[in-house]
Amino acid sequence: MGLRDEIHAEIAEAFNEDLADAVHTFTCERVSKTNWDPKTETHVEIKKNYSGRGVLFGSYSQYEIQTLGVLATDKKATVLQNEVTMAPKIDDEWITALGSFRIIHIQQDPAATIWKCQLRKI
């Protein structure tokens, strides 16, 4: 078992046990627009779905809100990469138990085991 696999296993164990109350599931329908026809001003929509779970709805610090332009209502999500069926992208809309959110920013940890997502209520 490699280091990344060990990290995934440890975080998954924490999600199942210690953090179980904070872990939420989400689903996403990503809509991509392709084949733009300027003559008819139409396009083809391609819908892809993915889902996962993670520690959602964390808060940002006062420093982040005041200096980095994060809204006080934005939420922080930490998701385990091997539990998300497709890589999240900016502007994806997540449907959760607490409503719908749009991804504003995504950051991956150096070990490529988790994504930290900035979510904004829509």
Distance CA 108, CA 96 (A): 21
Q: What is the average pLDDT across 18-33? A: 82
Q: What is the C-alpha end-to-end distance of the chain, expressed in Å? A: 41
Residue 104 binned pLDDT confidence (cut-offs 50, 70, 90):
very high
Topology of domain 3-121, CATH? Thrombin, subunit H (2.40.10)
- In this prediction, residue 121 carries a pLDDT of 92
Ramachandran sector of residue 55 (left: φ over 0; alpha: ψ -120 to 50; beta: rest) = beta
- pTM of the complete model: 0.77
Across the chain, mean pLDDT equals 86
Q: What is the average pLDDT across 6-30? A: 81
Residue 1 binned pLDDT confidence (cut-offs 50, 70, 90):
low
For 35, the 3-state DSSP assignment is: strand
Check: CB of residue 86 under 8 Å from CB of residue 103: no
Per-residue model confidence as pLDDT tens digits over 54-95: 888 888 899 888 888 899 899 999 888 888 888 999 998 888
E strands within the chain? 23-37, 42-58, 75-80, 93-96, 99-108, 114-121
Check: CB of residue 11 under 8 Å from CB of residue 80: yes
